[in-house]
Amino acid sequence: MKYRSSKTMLFTLACVMLSACGSAQNNTAKKTALPALKDVFNNDFLIGTALNARQIEGKDPGAAALVPQQFNAATPENIMKAEVIHPAWDQYNFELADKLVAYGKKNNIQINAHTLIWHSQLPGFVRSMKDADSVKQYFTNHIKTLAGRYDGKVLSWDVVNEALNEDGTMRKSIFLDKLGNNFVVEAFRLAAEAAPHTELYYNDYNIEQPKKRAGTVTLVKKIQAAGVRIDGIGIQGHWHLGKIPFNDIEASINEFAALGVKVMFTELDIEVLPRDFSGADVNQRMENNATLNPYVKGLPDSVQQQLADDYGKLFALFLKYKDKIGRVTFWGVNDGQSWLNGWPVRGRTNYPLLFDRAFQPKPAFFRVVGLKKDQ
């Protein structure tokens, strides 16, 4: 279903926001009137969302209704990270990941599994390892077990997440320390062996920035030179209102695609609150104070419009390069569940996504959908 006229758009917006479509009959009309992102961009790229544990367990009714209507891809926000899915040497918690796979199958939602090898959110037994042999054994078991179990059941894996520093050099981590520079190549080699039917991606934030972009190109070339398969690069896309690096994003799409891999936007959100650094390093934090949390009572219209402008320009760029882009995934279903309410300052009220806290579409949603109007 395509979004056709601005009149219809305004009507839907009014209906949705003022709840003027209150009757049961009109509720059905409201649902069918709202365009679905996955349909609007059907010929362009997959449209994904991150799902938290409650949503995967079916305990979030708003998400249960909205997600299958709007999205055809999903990434588990936390439940497939090592700390959760592999908490002890011989213990795996597959339950929620299995549920997610079943949910995807039932609702025609492709799953991007996140993530096999990441320096962060490691279980205690790994963090305390001292000798290289134990780390190597853990690394091999972890990748083989998870990539093998979900092969053919998930579309893709973020095989390695955030292995680079801002200057493009390799980030310090237990893997770099104990396994050496080649650990990324080895991770992809093991994943490719265990999951021949799954696409394999490198995923990181700020890799559209020139130095980190160059580091990514070097890393991917190294994997390819070793004769190991890599299918895609995920640009996370944690950006800030009014500061989206459009030129760098465009250059990155071209440079990454020239490596013969697909480009994905994997964790998209646009932060509207003040912050004095960019990126998504979960270890970076800022002190809380009232000036850092200005929109507790709601987002001013001017900011709402700027968010719509930024999202509109971003999706226009994505559409320009739709042949090179496989998927665009938002990091969360609605504003209320976004990680940006708790980071880098705890307890803020943030508005980074296309759906508000009541799962209603924001002006940014209509701007994005409107790009395809009459096409």
Q: Name the active-site residue from 77, 186, 208, 267.
A: 267
Could you give the residue ranges of the DSSP H alpha helices within the chain? 6-18, 24-33, 37-40, 53-56, 61-70, 82-85, 95-107, 124-127, 132-149, 174-179, 183-194, 210-225, 246-257, 301-320, 363-370
C-alpha 179 chain-centroid distance = 28
Clarify whether 267 is annotated catalytic: yes
Q: For residues 72 and 112, which CB has a smaller minimum distance to ligand 9MR in the complex?
A: 112
Q: For residues 304 and 338, which CB has a smaller minimum distance to ligand 9MR in the complex?
A: 338
Contact yes or no for 175/185 (Cβ under 8 A): no
Which residues contribute to the site for ligand 9MR (CB under 6 A)?
77-78, 120-121, 161, 205, 236, 267, 280, 282, 339
Q: For residues 77 and 231, which CB has a smaller minimum distance to ligand 9MR in the complex?
A: 77
Beta-bridge mates of residue 156: 112, 199
Contact yes or no for 369/308 (Cβ under 8 A): no
Instruction: Match 């390892």 to its residue by tokens.
Output: 129
CB of 282 to ligand 9MR, least distance (A): 4
CA distance 215 to 360: 39
Q: For residues 224 and 278, which CB has a smaller minimum distance to ligand 9MR in the complex?
A: 278
Residue 4's nearest CA partner among 39, 50, 52 is 39
Kindly tell me the burial class for residue 33, based on how many C-beta atoms sit within 10 Å of its own C-beta (0-12, 13-18, 19 or more).
middle
With the C-alpha atoms ordered 146, 152, 156, 160, is the resulting torsion angle positive or negative?
Answer: positive
One-letter identity of residue 179: L
Q: For residues 13 and 100, which CB has a smaller minimum distance to ligand 9MR in the complex?
A: 100
Clarify whether 208 is annotated catalytic: no
CA distance 293 to 348: 6
With the C-alpha atoms ordered 11, 14, 20, 24, is the resulting torsion angle positive or negative?
Answer: positive
Q: For residues 12 and 338, which CB has a smaller minimum distance to ligand 9MR in the complex?
A: 338
Q: Name the active-site residue from 162, 186, 208, 271.
A: 162
CB of 280 to ligand 9MR, least distance (A): 4
Residue 52's nearest CA partner among 354, 331, 370, 287 is 331
By beta carbon distance, the residue nearest ligand 9MR is: 339
Contact yes or no for 166/211 (Cβ under 8 A): yes
CA distance 346 to 339: 10
User: What is the end-to-end Cα distance of the chain in Å, rounded?
Assistant: 12
Q: For residues 207 and 299, which CB has a smaller minimum distance to ligand 9MR in the complex?
A: 207
CB of 251 to ligand 9MR, least distance (A): 22
Q: For residues 121 and 247, which CB has a smaller minimum distance to ligand 9MR in the complex?
A: 121
CB of 57 to ligand 9MR, least distance (A): 15
> HSE on the CB side for 183, CA within 13 Å?
29
Task: Provide the annotated active-site residues.
Answer: 162, 267
